[in-house]
Amino acid sequence: MESSMDRLKCVRRSKEEKKLLRRQIKISHTLLKHEGINTVSHPTKHLVVSNGGLGNGVSRESLLEVLKEGGTVESLLTPPAKPYAFVTYSSIEACQNAYTFLNGRALQCQEEQSVTIYFSYVEKVDSDRSVPCALPPGLLVLEDVVSPEEELQLLHAVDWTPHTDDVTVDSDRSVPCALPPGLLVLEDVVSPEEELQLLHAVDWTPHTDDVTVQKALKHRRVKHYGYEFRYDNNNVDKDKPLPDGLPAECDALLQRCLADGHISVLPDQLTVNQYQSGQGIPPHVDTHSAFEDTILSLSLSAKTVMDFKHPDGRSVAVVLPERSLLVMKGESRYLWTHGITPRKFDVVPVLEAGGSGVMTSDLSNLTLSRRGTRISLTFRKIRHTPCSCAYPSACDSQRLPPPPTVPVAEGDACRLESQYVHQVYEEISSHFSSTRHSPWPQVRDFLLSLPPGSVLADIGCGNGKYLGINPEVMSVGCDRSANLVQICIERGHEGFVSDALSVPLRSGSCDACISIAVIHHFSTQERRQAAVRELIRLLKVGGRALIYVWAMEQEYNNQKSKYLKERTTGTSMENGKELKTEENKTNQPEKHDRKMSSDIKCTEDGFGNVTQPRIHVHTNRTAFLSQDLLVPWHLKGNADKNKGATSSSTDVPVDKTSQSPVFHRYYHVFQQGELEEMCFSVAGVKVLRRYHDQGNWCVELEKTHYTSSKDDIAQEKV
């Protein structure tokens, strides 16, 4: 519209210039169509630079260098991830200059490729949204034309009432500028000389060890000092410290951290990671039970950007400059996840002072930073007691492991029983024994009914409370728990350690057998049946067996069992007191798992794959909601430490209120008739009695004739 412009236009256009013009027009259309950028044909102070953005690998610096050739640049806006930028010149003349002479210029971008940049005038540059503010002619946007109430009415009328599903949290748009609580980035904590020393000390010369580590972790290379960190369970082998401690070269830095109060104890574990450009680490929280609170991470050789995410969706990107120390404490250590996106470039703010800080939304101040090979040294202190942080949702000490599923295969059944029966009884044996002292009256009656001189085997004898009831009878007990059998011996009884599915006693050597509160610990029907068959095998013909198992129906004939009756209301029954009830007695109530009802049954997915139902944790002193359960045991007293229990007590979940370890025992509780049904399927057996006794289903059996194992199998199939 200005005459100078007309004059420029009058210049004859070459073929190349025409081509350029065509390209430019095409790009203008694209910008408008996809980005809502409205270009104008008359000169202004502002230009949109197509193909000159952070999103297509053009750095601010390289673009600026070229733009300056046009004239004095007032501002340059480079929106992240966009293939364009906006430049404002100090005058229209300068802008025109740039437009004329820089249009179609080739620019070197980061990937050693070149791009061609094109310029178009824009009316105005809005630095917040990088979109020009001119509306198309004739367009108006009138705001608040309907009230929120009218809005809902209209939505309802067209049946689009919003509900929770529609609400999305666009975490990319949330702009927190503060670091996660407890996070600090300390810059220049080591000098360049110290940096070299440390790099040398952790020595990245490849040798055979590294090859296996590299195989295990497909991405970054890793090395450990002090203790080996295991990636299969994200924990540390606390019983197997590595022979050498931390390299001596780290001492100076760690002492400084101690002196400055960033840490209160010296770390005893170091993990060295090498991240090449394009490598990263997925978002994670460092295992609570493995390490104490403050975690230090030193960045050497290169900087990077680490992303922190809060469970509520908030996300903060933190620049970690070379030779800086990241200090993670409290919430940033226990609750926020941290990770490094595997990329070759990061978008970073350009700051005068230094290179750290959070990402900002200040689009006038961003550039690209190519990743170098960064070596991180992460210093941590091994934790030896359960974690009791204020963030239980992320805490493996306070949170229970995911519930197991009802097993089908023999191997899975064995493993489940090993974890949730055998190991538990070994750990709790003393406490357990102290709560099991009074015999069930009807069991006592059975024992006293045996003829003098009978041989009795108590399969699953526990602490041996039934072994001395009838002195006229030769009693021997066996149990899976060595600690419990030990208690039997100490009380003067005879016992040995054995599995109820394979008892090393000669067939037909017993006049009577008892199995009190044992078979409900087997996790498959096959194994439960096998246990009954084994009892029968031990009996001579005419011999009797008595079996007690927990009943699902704790109330029978409208009478609540003692287990249900003695419901505590918060206060625990201490093991010091005389306990009145027996097998079913456990202590404190526990938080009920609400998900239980929905996944009690097997579920089938669309492909016909059946998933086994989960075994949930039962709430003590309430009715059983499913047949396969984990029943809590709150351990009191630490007498078991001397018994050589294998599991480390620091890995056992802890009850938050009492701080006592909680153990879970697996039970399959029986429905009415189920035990009987099972006994019918065993060959050579007659059911003499069946009854309900204090929350147990009970059967008394007689062996009617000798059977070989083949007969049993045939019988089962009938």
Partner 1 sequence: MKLLTHNMLTSHVKGVVKGYPLVIKATEVKVNELEFNAQFVSRMIPKLEWSALIQAAEWLGQSQDLPSTLIPNYEKDEDFLRKVHRILLEVEVIEGCLQCPESGREFPISKGVPNMLLDEGE
CB of 475 vs partner 1, minimal distance in Å: 10
CB of 488 vs partner 1, minimal distance in Å: 8
Distance CA 523, CA 38 (A): 70
Distance CA 300, CA 333 (A): 21
Please name every residue paired with 185 in a beta bridge, in sequence order, or none if there are none. 326
- In the complex with partner 1, which residue's Cβ is closer, 292 or 640? 640
CB of 500 vs partner 1, minimal distance in Å: 11
From the list 36-44, 103-111, 496-504, 669-677, the region that binds partner 1 by CB under 8 A is: 496-504
Distance CA 591, CA 620 (A): 9
- In the complex with partner 1, which residue's Cβ is closer, 305 or 487? 487
From the list 469-477, 521-529, 588-596, 626-634, the region that binds partner 1 by CB under 8 A is: 469-477
For residue 129, the number of C-alpha atoms closer than 13 Å in the C-beta half-sphere is 7
From the list 93-101, 271-279, 284-292, 485-493, the region that binds partner 1 by CB under 8 A is: 485-493
Residues between 189 and 248 with contacts to partner 1, criterion CB under 8 A? none
Please name every residue paired with 634 in a beta bridge, in sequence order, or none if there are none. 662
The correct pick among 496, 565, 599, 649 for binding partner 1 (CB under 8 A) is: 496
From the list 127-135, 432-440, 492-500, 696-704, the region that binds partner 1 by CB under 8 A is: 492-500
By CB under 8 A, the count of residues binding partner 1 is 26
Bridge pairing between strands 325-328 and 559-560: unpaired
Dihedral of the CA atoms 326, 329, 335, 337 (nearest 10)? 10
Tokens of 578: 């005389």
The correct pick among 110, 197, 498, 715 for binding partner 1 (CB under 8 A) is: 498
For residue 632, CA distances in Å to 402, 599, 641 come to: 15, 20, 20
Q: Does 476 bind partner 1 (CB under 8 A)?
A: yes
Phi, psi values for residue 142, rounded to 5°: -100, 120
Question: How far does the chain reach from its first CA to its final CA, in angstroms?
Answer: 101
The correct pick among 132, 267, 495, 695 for binding partner 1 (CB under 8 A) is: 495
The correct pick among 131, 482, 600, 645 for binding partner 1 (CB under 8 A) is: 482
CB of 460 vs partner 1, minimal distance in Å: 14
- In the complex with partner 1, which residue's Cβ is closer, 201 or 482? 482
Q: Does 701 bind partner 1 (CB under 8 A)?
A: no
x-or-dash pattern for partner 1, window 502-541, by CB under 8 A? xxxxx--x--------------------------------
The correct pick among 77, 198, 359, 455 for binding partner 1 (CB under 8 A) is: 455
CB of 492 vs partner 1, minimal distance in Å: 9
Q: Does 472 bind partner 1 (CB under 8 A)?
A: yes
Distance CA 497, CA 422 (A): 12
Compute how many other C-beta atoms are within 10 angstroms of the C-beta atom of residue 150.
10
Compute how many other C-beta atoms are within 10 angstroms of the C-beta atom of residue 532.
24
Contact criterion met (CB below 8 Å) for 265 and 280: no
Q: Does 615 bind partner 1 (CB under 8 A)?
A: no
- In the complex with partner 1, which residue's Cβ is closer, 243 or 492? 492
CB of 482 vs partner 1, minimal distance in Å: 6
Residues between 414 and 453 with contacts to partner 1, criterion CB under 8 A? 414, 452-453
From the list 401-409, 494-502, 568-576, 583-591, the region that binds partner 1 by CB under 8 A is: 494-502
Contact criterion met (CB below 8 Å) for 686 and 702: yes
3-state SS of 186-242 is: ECCCCCHHHHHHHHHHHCCCCCHHHHHHHHHCCCCEEEEECEEEECCCCEEEEEEEC
199, with CB counted inside 10 A (0-12, 13-18, 19+), is: middle
Residues between 381 and 420 with contacts to partner 1, criterion CB under 8 A? 414
How many degrees, rounded to 5, is the angle at CA 650 between CA 649 and CA 654?
A: 90
Which spans of this chain sit near partner 1 (rule: CB under 8 A)?
Answer: 414, 452-453, 455, 471-472, 474, 476, 478, 480, 482, 485-486, 489, 494-499, 502-506, 509
